[in-house]
Structure 1
Amino acid sequence: MAKYKLGDICEIVSGSTPKTEIEEYWNGDIKWITPAELDDESYIVYDTTRKITELAVKKTGLSSFPEGTVILSSRAPIGKVAIAGCEMYCNQGFKNLICSEKIYNRYLFWFLKGNTEYLNSFGRGATFKEISKKIVSDIEINVPEMNLQKKAVLNLERLSKIISLRKSEIDKLDALIRARFFELFGDLVEGDKIKENRRKIGDIASVTKLAGFEFTKYIKYKDIGSIGDVIMLRGLNCKRGKIILDDIKWIERETSDLLPRSKLYIGDILITYAGTIGDVALVDEDNKYHLAPNVGKITIIDKLSYDPVFLVHLLMYSNKYIMSFVSKVAQASINMQKIRNFEYYFPGFEKQKYFSTFVEQVNKSKVEVQKALDKAQLLFDSLMQKYFG
């Protein structure tokens, strides 16, 4: 299999931004793309948010790139990738690749999409990171025969569609839970359906955190855990009511035992209070986790009157209300007292449990879909490794 530098098999082009203060340059019918318009789901791009005029092209000396060009963002952020579905122009935040006959544009797309971290490692710059044309040009890629490139793309596209479908199914199940919540309870901040038993979180639960001095004095993270070690749950581990264990740090159990106030048990609710605010998760195992900085712990006092599954969804669905408590300082944050002051109307315990049981049933379906998603993702990752190394 031959190996080439991208600069040897692609023409690499960029763009620029016409002066925004000249109205005659804007709101035309010529497509002009920026990195902000690309996301993880982008593939073939046929339209752009902003349009420029013929005058802008003529006066600014812009050059277009043709249909089929692989679009690669080179700053803010680095590594977003798509394929131009038609002729268009771009700003200076791209290093786009016009493929020669040696490489299939969709094969190059998947190569770049699978190497986002690698591309970011080349980022240079003080204000924001950027990759230069020279850096992109020098990147090497294995290039098999064209028929093998197209076969690889076919396999990756099939699996990508399956993965997208499974993710969509999970999103629909999450939407079903949300819809059921509001059908049953309405807005529990305003009380449009339930108008009694308005309580503060501090009235029904204890709220605490790992103190800064405790972290400094006792905590030493381990990247790899040993038998008996405890996982520190950080903000990035709290998403959409669930604990996410993609990126974890460990501490020794002896350290966890020295800090009993921030140990975690089944039914404890986590809420991020600094940086990213209002992400929540429900602890589902004893003796496995410990509270990390920037994450608060809510422990229901009377679990015969208040259900943790209900409460974690209440918090998850009232993010706008939670954000109204944020301190406007250098780093946005909410202190523990403000969390204690969150105030809601609470339905009766039977209604809470009814909702909790509904969530449990839906989550059984989610588990099966997640298994199928994980299987497809594993196969996809193995093929990416096989094709691109």
Structure 2
Amino acid sequence: MKSSKHQFVGQKVKLSDICSIVSGATPVTTVTDYWGGDIKWITPSELNDDSHVIYDTAKHLTEAGFASARLRMFPKGTVLLTTRAPIGKVAIAGEPMCCNQGFKNFVCSDAVNNEYLYRYLKNRSSELQALGRGATFKELSKKEVAAYEINLPPLKRQLEAVEKLALVDKQVVIAKTQLDKLDSLVKSRFVEMFGDLKSDTNGWPIKPFETFAIIDTHMANDLTPYLDMPHIGIDSIESGTGRLSGYRTVAEDGIISGKYPFTPEHLIYSKIRPSLNKVALPDFSGVCSADAYPILPIAGECNRVYLAEVMRSAYFLEYILPLSGRAQMPKVNKKALSGFSMPLPPIELQQQFAAFAAQVDKSRFGGMLHLLNSLSGIMHASFFSVADTD
């Protein structure tokens, strides 16, 4: 059922003008009678960058649990927006459901198409993240969300934009499938060249971390020299592949101190569980958050591409997971990482693998270039131009 908000079309509109905004809450987790029912209840951790329509949730509430938290159901078609931990993930409810306090969700009026709003907000996730406030963790308030303005063209133009982007989505799916195949090719080549690291059938020396890499945690207390450089957070690193996206400059993020500088010779490793297989290989200089370690492989001993692939492997995770602690935010400390040992093949063999991975990267990015340019053009035409009122 649509929101009862009045029809409104203009160049810029507040979300509160065109949507009803629904928040959520969490029933007491220790009361078993509140959990395991038929009511779908979603949390921000269930959304990712590829989320679109959500039909089911990881947890379900009973009627008693629903009533205890004074929750409100929102209908099928509601646009979901995470506003804390993290900010800016977007999806559409494929079934009626409720949520925890990490969302501000939009029941659309007849003035706005839910697919259009979903895509608009998804495209503005970085902007939404920058609006977050809070000392312990950033959050968007209901007041801030209600006042957020979007371009709202007439419904006909909204539907045209959605149709165009749906065609682009199909091409993106094809491209991602190709990328997945290329990623699998690199992993297969790694196994062919180095075998099962755990069994160590090649007889290569087992060397401790400190002999082939430096955990480079000299912190920059003055970030003035880095203002135009990227600031990498662990959310910018894709699990499994290490691809980087969604990062901003130091100046854009407004940070002034307490970050680790890195160069194109470093790799960046996420030390926060459950992101312990996130390892990035930047080809630029910048700073990373304190939730990651810049690691500098020692020249002539270890190639960073080889090391990154080891640190994404089950072999490494089997070692590091038990050492990541049981705190509210489990993380790997420097001592635990320094204690890691691994087989170290001859540097020439490591470099051969790195050269193979570089050739695969050329295939990956060359094939994506035209698609990304086309996608950028369509998004600019659909979202960034001033909406007309015809």
Per the TM superposition, whether the score is higher than 0.5 is: yes
TM superposition shift of 1:89? 1.8
Tell me: CA distance 1:77–1:350, structure 2 relative to 1, closer, same or farther (3 Å): closer
Partner of 2:372: 374
Residue pair 1:273, 1:333 contacting (<8 A) in 2 also: no
Partner of 2:180: 171
Partner of 1:362: 360
Partner of 1:69: 78
Work out which of the residue numbers 187, 195, 218 in structure 1 matches 2:196.
Answer: 187
Aligned counterparts of 1:150 and 1:370: Cα–Cα separation in 2: 26
Tell me: CA distance 1:281–1:104, structure 2 relative to 1, closer, same or farther (3 Å): closer
The structure having more radius of gyration, on CA atoms, is 1
TM superposition shift of 1:26? 1.3
Residue pair 2:209, 2:337 contacting (<8 A) in 1 also: no
Matched, 1:96 2:93: no
Matched, 1:300 2:314: no
Tell me: CA distance 1:249–1:324, structure 2 relative to 1, closer, same or farther (3 Å): same
Partner of 1:255: none
Q: Secondary structure at the match of 2:48?
A: coil
How do 1:195-214 residues align onto structure 2 when only pairs under 5 Å count?
195-200=203-208, 207=214, 209=216
Tell me: CA distance 1:356–1:98, structure 2 relative to 1, closer, same or farther (3 Å): closer
Matched, 1:160 2:169: yes
How do 1:119-138 residues align onto structure 2 when only pairs under 5 Å count?
119-138=128-147
Residue pair 1:223, 1:248 contacting (<8 A) in 2 also: yes
TM superposition shift of 1:82? 1.4
Partner of 2:309: 313
State the Cα RMSD in Å. Answer: 4.4
Aligned counterparts of 1:233 and 1:131: Cα–Cα separation in 2: 21
Tell me: CA distance 1:80–1:242, structure 2 relative to 1, closer, same or farther (3 Å): closer
Matched, 1:139 2:148: yes
Aligned counterparts of 1:161 and 1:50: Cα–Cα separation in 2: 31
Work out which of the residue numbers 213, 223, 237 in structure 1 matches 2:227.
Answer: 223
TM superposition shift of 1:191? 3.3
Partner of 1:257: none
Aligned counterparts of 1:263 and 1:32: Cα–Cα separation in 2: 41
Over residues 75-101 of structure 1, what are the superposed CA-to-partner deviations in whole Å (9 max), with x where a residue is unaligned? 333332211111112223322221111
Tell me: CA distance 1:209–1:47, structure 2 relative to 1, closer, same or farther (3 Å): closer
Tell me: CA distance 1:23–1:295, structure 2 relative to 1, closer, same or farther (3 Å): closer
Residue pair 2:231, 2:247 contacting (<8 A) in 1 also: no
Partner of 2:46: 37
1:345 counterpart letter in structure 2:
P
TM superposition shift of 1:27? 0.6
Aligned counterparts of 2:207 and 2:188: Cα–Cα separation in 1: 23
Tell me: CA distance 1:192–1:156, structure 2 relative to 1, closer, same or farther (3 Å): same
Q: Secondary structure at the match of 1:18?
A: coil
Residue pair 1:38, 1:82 contacting (<8 A) in 2 also: yes
Residue pair 1:235, 1:279 contacting (<8 A) in 2 also: no
- For structure 2, list consecutive stretches of 5 or more residues without a partner in the other structure: 1-8, 252-260
Over residues 113-139 of structure 1, what are the superposed CA-to-partner deviations in whole Å (9 max), with x where a residue is unaligned? 222343344434454443333332222
Aligned counterparts of 2:98 and 2:242: Cα–Cα separation in 1: 42
Residue pair 2:87, 2:125 contacting (<8 A) in 1 also: yes
Matched, 1:334 2:328: no
Aligned counterparts of 2:112 and 2:349: Cα–Cα separation in 1: 60
- Percentage of identical aligned residues: 34
Partner of 1:253: none
Instruction: Indicate the larger mover: 116-125 or 87-96.
Output: 116-125
* Number of matched pairs: 357
Q: Secondary structure at the match of 1:178?
A: helix
TM superposition shift of 1:20? 2.6
Residue pair 1:233, 1:289 contacting (<8 A) in 2 also: no
Aligned counterparts of 2:78 and 2:154: Cα–Cα separation in 1: 20
Aligned counterparts of 2:186 and 2:281: Cα–Cα separation in 1: 16
- For structure 1, list consecutive stretches of 5 or more residues without a partner in the other structure: 225-230, 251-261
Aligned counterparts of 1:62 and 1:283: Cα–Cα separation in 2: 44
Aligned counterparts of 1:338 and 1:96: Cα–Cα separation in 2: 40
2:65 counterpart letter in structure 1:
A
TM superposition shift of 1:150? 0.3
Partner of 2:255: none
Tell me: CA distance 1:44–1:354, structure 2 relative to 1, closer, same or farther (3 Å): same
TM-score (norm 2): 0.71
